[in-house]
Structures are given as structure tokens and as C-alpha cells.
């Protein structure tokens, strides 16, 4: 009798594991529709032969990341509409928002993940449907928040490959220089022209792709992650800030809150930066209009007099981002582009803006995809 019970339970366990393995391996084809419309919200300056700085603020959702091909279809539709309006040329620099590449972590997943009601639930499905990848990532996690570290780390090799193929492909397809927002990867680097992930700490990094689709320089790592990221994202050495040459001029990239630090603009000035791109994000219902919370875990620079709560989050971004505000920055133009959309129970709240000659021009619309252009 005991042998029969053992046999019964063994067969039940094998059946359960087989069913789970079949479920985890099944990846249904995407079938969700997405809005491909985008509006030209701002068009500043006079068209000339010096090129232009074009911020594309997409409106994205988890289902847009079902596959790199789906995401390409949506972003390429935005680029095509920009091209149809005469906004793309060989000297155009296009800027995408922060973490537009990070969500490649959910590519190729099961319907249950995209249909989740919260980010936590979605990440649980991510781990459940990739048990071996998650277990390996958990063992090699570096941050104090091992769970979120593992979620970001578990598919990093595929994410790096997809990021370069997608965004390098868009740059080549439309013949532009592309600041490809940012992506969180462990120890990212460019080796032999290819973006590779390492095995160390996680960094929020941006890659600039040239008109031929090849990366320009090394990934620019974020130096000042905000407080709620610091348990997972490592801050980069401030001396590693770099500038790359583009057909429109020398370009520097400051990710998110890195744009709040005056010293960063001085480092860019010292390298002759003429353009500054700021891929950014602000998440939370109506967070853009809520009181600014300050430097969120980092010490406030001595030259900054702004105090937490004095202004709204949005007003703080516009005051602290010093592009084209001499003598704070000698750049001729800058653009800050925010990630918009709904990721389960969390929504993007930032409103993109451009600046030149000490003036800022903002898009006040709270919904929908937007383009912001400035002629140089």
C-alpha cells in the first residue's frame, strides 16, 4: 500500500512539473492593438541646414513590449510621421525617454503578465514563467533589493541584444542620430561595436546610435539614481560623463535627475557639448503637479537654493534642468523627454520640454504621444 502511495504521489509530482514546464514554455503570439498616432506639440526655430533636436515622447503600454517587432512597429510609426512632416534629416538628433529600453524585460512573455493589474503581479508572472533565468539571476543579484535586482537582471543578455537591434535599427532605417532613452543592465559596455551586459552591479544607461546604427562611444551611465532606485541601481562615477560627435554638433546625455546637478553641465561644457539630451521619467498619478520632494536621497548641490515643497515636481524639473541657460550651460539647445503611458497600476506623468537661448518651451498636454522639435 505504501509503495502505491509513493508511486501515486511521484506520478502526480511528475505530471504537475510537466504541466508547469509546458505552461512556462508556451509564448502566445501578440494580438493587441496599439495607438500609433503622435502629435507635433512644439516646433521652435527656423528650418536651416544645421539640423534639429527632436524629442519623441511615446505613449507606451506593457502590450507594446510583447515582442521587439511590436515595439519597432509602434516607434517606427512615430518616426515615419516625423519624416512625413519634414522633421528628419541627416543632421537630426532624436531623443527618446528614460527606461524605454528597460521594459524589454517583459518581451516575449505570457498573456497573464500583460493582463496583470499591478506591477508586482506582473513581476511575479515574469519570475514564474522563467524559473531557471530567475533562479540564476537571484543567485547573482548585487543590490540590497534582491528580488527587483533579479527581475531586471534575469533577461539582460537578450535585452542588450534586442535594445541594439531595435534602436540601432531605427537610427539606420531613418538615417538619424538616436539617443535611445535608457536601459538598466549589469555593467553595460560596448565591445567590438556591440552592447554587452556584464555580471556586476545594475546601471541605468543610455546609448547613442549613429546614422549607420552603430553605437557612438560607451554607454552613458546615470550618476544620481533617485532614492527609490538606490537599492537596485548603482550610481556611476561622475568623472565618466562623456560627449559624442554628431552631424548636428557635440552631444552630451544626462539621464533623469543627473540633469539637476550644475557640475554636470560644467563637465559637459569642458568637453565642448553643444547639445544636451535628457531622457527622463516621472511615475505616479498626477505626480507632475505634486510638491517637489527634493533630491530624493542625494545631497543638494550648494549652488541650488530650491527647497523641497517650494514648487511642483514639474516646475522643479524646468528650473533645475539648465540646458541653454548661460552661464550655467553653454549648450545651444537641450531637450528633456519623459516616458508616458500606463504600466499596470503606474502611469507616466512627466511633460517634455525644450530649451534654447535661456528660454524653455513646454508641452502642457497630459496625454498622448508628442513630438517636440527645435531647429538649430
Location of C-alpha cell 519623441: 56
Residue 18 lies in a domain: no
Give the per-residue pLDDT at 11. Answer: 47
Residue with cell 534575469: 154
Strand 92-95 to 177-179 pairing: parallel
CA distances from 329 to 95, 318, 332 (A): 19, 14, 8
Separation of CA 338 from chain center: 9
Residue 19 lies in a domain: no
A 10 A CB-CB count for 323 gives 29
First vs last C-alpha separation in the chain = 84
Asked whether residue 328 is domain-assigned, the answer is: yes
Sheet holding 340-343, edge to edge: 59-60, 340-343, 346-347
pLDDT of residue 352: 95
**Looking at the predicted structure, is the pLDDT value of residue 238 above 60?**
yes
Cβ contact 376:46 at 8 Å? no
Could you tell me if residue 22 is inside a domain? no
**Helix, strand, coil distribution of the chain in percent, nearest 5:** 35, 25, 40
Is residue 129 very low, low, confident or very high in pLDDT (cuts 50, 70, 90)?
A: very high
In a domain, 24, yes or no: no
Count up the domains in the chain and report the number.
Answer: 1
Range of the domain at 202: 40-375
Dist. CA 275–CA 324, nearest whole Å: 9
Residue 136 domain flag: yes
Residue 142: CATH number of its domain: 3.60.110.10
In a domain, 13, yes or no: no
Residue 94 belongs to a domain: yes
Q: Is residue 22 very low, low, confident or very high in pLDDT (cuts 50, 70, 90)? A: very low
Q: Which residue has the cell 510609426?
A: 77
So what's the pLDDT on residue 251? 98
Of 26, 180, 228, 203, residue with least CA distance to 112: 26
% of the chain with per-residue pLDDT over 90: 71
Q: What is the mean pLDDT of the chain?
A: 89
Higher pLDDT, 26 or 273: 273
283: number of Cβ within 10 Å: 16
Amino acid at each position: 500500500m505504501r509503495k502505491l502511495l509513493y508511486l501515486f504521489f511521484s506520478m502526480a509530482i511528475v505530471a504537475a512539473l510537466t504541466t508547469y514546464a509546458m505552461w512556462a514554455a508556451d509564448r502566445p503570439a501578440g494580438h493587441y492593438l496599439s495607438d500609433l498616432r503622435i502629435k507635433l506639440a512644439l516646433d521652435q526655430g527656423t528650418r536651416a541646414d544645421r539640423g534639429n533636436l527632436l524629442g519623441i515622447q511615446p505613449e507606451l503600454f506593457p502590450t507594446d513590449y510583447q515582442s521587439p517587432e511590436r515595439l519597432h512597429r509602434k516607434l517606427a510609426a512615430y518616426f515615419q510621421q516625423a519624416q512625413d512632416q519634414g522633421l528628419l534629416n541627416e543632421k537630426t538628433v532624436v531623443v527618446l525617454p528614460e527606461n524605454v529600453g528597460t521594459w524589454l524585460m517583459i518581451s516575449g512573455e505570457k498573456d497573464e503578465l500583460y493582463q496583470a493589474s499591478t506591477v508586482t503581479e506582473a513581476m511575479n508572472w515574469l519570475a514564474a514563467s522563467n524559473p531557471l533565468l530567475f533562479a540564476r539571476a537571484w543567485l547573482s543579484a548585487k543590490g540590497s533589493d534582491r528580488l527587483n535586482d533579479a527581475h531586471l537582471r534575469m533577461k539582460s543578455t537578450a535585452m542588450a541584444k534586442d535594445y541594439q537591434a531595435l534602436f540601432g535599427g531605427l537610427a539606420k532605417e531613418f538615417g538619424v542620430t538616436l539617443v535611445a532613452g535608457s536601459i538598466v543592465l549589469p555593467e553595460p559596455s560596448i565591445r567590438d561595436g556591440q552592447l554587452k551586459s556584464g555580471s556586476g552591479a545594475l546601471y541605468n544607461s543610455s546609448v547613442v546610435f549613429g546614422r549607420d546604427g552603430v553605437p557612438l562611444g560607451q554607454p552613458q551611465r546615470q550618476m544620481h539614481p533617485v532614492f527609490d532606485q538606490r537599492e537596485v541601481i548603482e550610481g556611476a562615477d561622475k568623472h565618466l560623463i562623456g560627449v559624442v560627435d554628431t552631424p548636428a554638433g557635440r552631444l552630451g546625455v544626462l539621464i533623469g535627475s543627473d540633469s539637476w546637478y550644475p557640475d554636470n553641465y560644467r563637465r559637459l561644457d569642458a568637453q565642448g557639448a553643444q547639445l544636451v539630451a535628457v531622457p527622463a521619467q516621472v511615475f505616479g498619478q498626477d505626480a507632475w503637479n505634486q510638491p517637489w520632494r527634493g533630491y530624493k536621497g542625494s545631497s543638494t548641490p550648494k549652488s541650488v537654493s530650491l527647497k523641497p515643497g517650494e514648487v511642483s515636481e514639474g516646475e522643479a524639473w524646468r528650473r533645475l534642468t539648465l540646458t541653454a541657460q548661460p552661464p550655467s550651460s553653454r549648450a545651444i539647445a537641450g531637450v528633456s523627454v519623459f516616458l508616458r503611458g500606463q504600466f499596470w497600476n503606474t502611469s507616466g506623468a512627466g511633460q517634455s520640454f525644450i530649451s534654447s537661448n535661456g528660454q524653455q518651451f513646454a508641452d502642457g498636454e497630459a496625454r498622448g504621444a508628442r513630438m517636440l522639435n527645435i531647429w538649430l
